[in-house]
Chain A
């Protein structure tokens, strides 16, 4: 059972990071939008997940309005757990509403934040996004009623009706969502839109000169990626069963995905999957292995950023294009396509 739990845990976390790195690859690898603030929409997703489903459930079941979901968290959750354990329909409704709300809000925020962001050169756009993420993290940590502030908050599980298998329920849902999102990104990247994005990445001026509205495309790309990243935030929150906004750091939710993408191969979705898988496995091994270093006068967890830094350094120096570099289409493929069209 322990082995199954461990495998499920690794797969679920791989899925979360796969969604994040695929979104990053869509922005940076395909469109050339340099975004270091990936954790901004992830935090939005997590905060809405902490706020919305619990309160909605309270309204649906007519709980005492004097009870506050955040302040009386343990009591409210124990009541909701009893109710939701025998009510799969409401549970699924809560899950669907949360996902829909996060998708809408994140798309809107992505669209809105693109206005100041796209006025900036690439490097300052990255800084702007990074600072926006850090600002939201500060807001989340300071606002108790939103997501429990510094201490965090325990949230409802939309799969409580599965009894002892509720974790498997949310993990399976995460896996299915990841497969769907990966397929969606694959279709987008292989479509004419994917080629348009690449042309913008390579030379914005050329793309503009053939009548493409570069800013509009970039804005929609950013908004779409924000939406998917927000959904990753929802899935992560449900998987953890709690939201601690302070835990959504730039290292864990921006720098690690960047490393995963760079190691795997920027602009190549399969490479990104490979990079994500290898690093998730490595991080899980570190978490298990840290107990063997009990004798050190500091927490071994700090080796993680150092290891991340060393790996990033080695990759930048020795293999900047990643394990699986972006495939450039061969002349033969083009000829085949042209001949097919002519015939």
Chain B
């Protein structure tokens, strides 16, 4: 039997991770450029949550602002990447451009953490805001908020893709950028909005993270391993596959590692590496991921 705190950790983590994996895959599909700054963009908004908590406000108040912050950074990043792409910069150059943003945000987070330590005498290099959370049916509110946010965003995104003109245009751009452009779709506008939206999702996930987990400026770098693993499991270019991949990786990192730690207690410290092992195994044995597996089953 899994203890309740472990189960709750796995559930909250899977909601956050699956959203991040979905966002990362979506950005990759739209521009064929993996955004290396994605995890750092997400965790920039955790410092926004911390700031709201310092002002004695509920950390949940920071969520819409986290969405806007993540969206704004992602939008600016898209403009820079698109500018370089239009000049014929290679994929290597475009990925380097995302690293530019990763570095600036990472440095910005550390400068802000130092500033908080200097002004408020608060060690912001590592913190958790779980004490600011409240209970619903004796369970932490973050469980319900993260669940509702994830399910709500996925439902909204699915409806948008299927039912709206914008969604159809976005699917067309994702399928074939040049053809969509020839058909008169304003591809630049579609992609700008898509990157803003996906950056916003990252910001939302990041603002929820410190309400349950401990946060430090290196979380982005560590979490990137899990996001990448979730995308690999999902099938690299499948949005819903990455969602499922997020759940698998989160449960493997928390629940499977918990069971293993009953026999090998030292293994708990290495749970961040579990996802990388799974990803490497998946790449060798199942390179097309869950999406490929489902496709194979469908074809019989």
Identify the A interface with B (CB < 8 A): 28, 34, 36, 115-116, 119-120, 122-124, 126-128, 130-132, 134-135, 138-139, 142, 249-251, 255, 258, 262, 297-299, 302-306, 308-309, 312-313, 316-317, 320
**Is B154 interfacial (CB 8 A cutoff)?**
no
Which of A124, A131, A305 sits near B224, CB closer than 8 Å?
A131
Q: Is the CB of A303 within 8 A of B84?
A: no
A122 touches B91 (CB 8 A): yes
Q: Do most interface residues of chain A lie in helix, strand or loop, or is the interface mixed?
A: helix
A-contact 0/1 string along B104-115, CB 8 Å cutoff = 101110110011
Given A128-B228, A134-B221, A298-B115, A306-B103 contact (CB < 8 Å): yes
Question: Is B92 in contact with A28, judged by CB distance below 8 angstroms?
Answer: yes
Q: Which residues of A contact B97 (CB under 8 A)?
A: 313, 316
B269 at the interface (CB under 8 A from A): yes
Give min CB distance, A201 to chain B, whole Å.
11
14 contacts between A and B (CB under 8 A): A115-B284, A116-B283, A116-B284, A119-B283, A132-B276, A139-B270, A142-B270, A255-B99, A297-B115, A297-B119, A305-B107, A306-B107, A308-B103, A320-B93
Of A123, A134, A138, A316, which one neighbours B34 at CB under 8 angstroms? Answer: A123
B226-248 residues at the A interface, CB under 8 angstroms: 228-229, 232, 236
B260 interface hit (Cβ, 8 Å): no
A123 touches B225 (CB 8 A): no
Instruction: Report, as a range, how many residues of chain B touch the other chain.
Output: 35 or more
Task: Write the chain B residue with the least CB distance to A311.
Answer: B100
Closest to A142 in B: B269
Q: Are A250 and B114 in contact (CB under 8 A)?
A: no
What distance in Å separates the Cβ of B236 from its nearest Cβ neighbour in chain A? 7
B279 at the interface (CB under 8 A from A): yes
Q: With A258-B96, A316-B97 in contact, do A135 and B283 touch (Cβ < 8 Å)? A: no
User: Measuring CB to CB, which residues of chain B are less than 8 angstroms from any residue of chain A?
Assistant: 32-34, 36, 80, 84, 89, 91-93, 95-97, 99-101, 103-104, 106-108, 110-111, 114-115, 118-119, 221-222, 224-225, 228-229, 232, 236, 269-270, 272-273, 276, 279-280, 283-284, 287
Q: Which residue of B96, B104, B114, B222 contacts A134 across the interface (Cβ within 8 Å)?
A: B222
The 9 closest A-B pairs by CB, nearest first: A298-B114, A116-B283, A309-B103, A297-B118, A142-B269, A305-B103, A305-B107, A135-B276, A302-B107
Q: Is the CB of A312 within 8 A of B115?
A: no
- On chain B, the residues within 8 Å of A251 by CB distance are 103, 106
A127 to B38 Cα, complex, angstroms = 12
What chain B residues lie within 8 Å of A36 (beta carbons)? 36, 95
Tell me the complex Cα distance, A283–B225, Å: 29
CB-CB < 8 A to A309: which residues of B? 99-101, 103-104, 107
Could you tell me the distance in whole angstroms from the C-beta of B207 to the nearest C-beta in chain A? 22
Contact A134 B224 (CB under 8 A): yes
Known contacts A262-B96, A312-B96; is A317 also within 8 Å of B272 by CB? Answer: no
The answer to whether A255 touches B91, judged by C-beta atoms less than 8 angstroms apart, is: no
The distance from the CB of B221 to the nearest CB of chain A, in whole angstroms, is: 6
Residue of B nearest to A306 (CB): B107
What residue in chain B is nearest A118 (Cβ atoms)?
B283
Further pairs besides A122-B92, A303-B107: 4, Cβ < 8 Å: A119-B283, A249-B221, A298-B115, A313-B80
A128 neighbours in B (Cβ, 8 Å): 228, 279-280, 283
Residue with the highest number of chain B CB atoms closer than 10 Å, among A132, A135, A251, A299:
A135
Q: Which residues of A contact B224 (CB under 8 A)?
A: 130-131, 134
Known: A128-B228, A297-B115. A320 touches B100 (CB 8 A): no
Shortest beta-carbon distance from A312 to chain B in Å: 5
In contact, A131 and B84 (Cβ under 8 angstroms): no
Q: Which of B32, B107, B269 has the most A CB atoms < 10 Å from its CB?
A: B107
Contact B33 A123 (CB under 8 A): yes
Contact present for A298 and B118 (CB under 8 Å): yes
B residues near A250, Cβ cutoff 8 Å: 221
Assuming A124-B34, A131-B224, is B84 touching A316 (CB within 8 A)? yes
Given known A131-B229, A297-B119, A298-B118, contact A139–B103 (CB-CB < 8 A): no
* Minimum CB–CB distance for A108 against chain B, Å: 16
Rounded to whole angstroms, the CA-CA distance of A130 and B229 in the bound complex is: 12
By a CB distance below 8 angstroms, the chain A residues around B103 are 251, 255, 305-306, 308-309, 312
Which residues of A sit under 8 angstroms from B91, Cβ to Cβ? 34, 122-123
* Complex CA–CA separation, A116 to B101 (angstroms): 28
Contact in complex: A127, B228 (CB < 8 Å): yes
A298 to B119, CA, bound (A): 10
Tell me if A120 and B283 are in contact (CB < 8 A).
yes
Query: Which B residue's beta carbon lies closest to that of A126?
Result: B95
| Residues from chain A with Cβ under 8 Å of B270 in the complex | 138-139, 142
Least CB distance from A47 to B in Å reads 14
Q: In the bound complex, what is the Cα–Cα distance between A135 and B222 (angstroms)?
A: 8
Shortest C-beta distance, B220 to chain A (Å), equals 11
Per the bound structure, the CA–CA distance linking A328 and B29 in Å amounts to 34
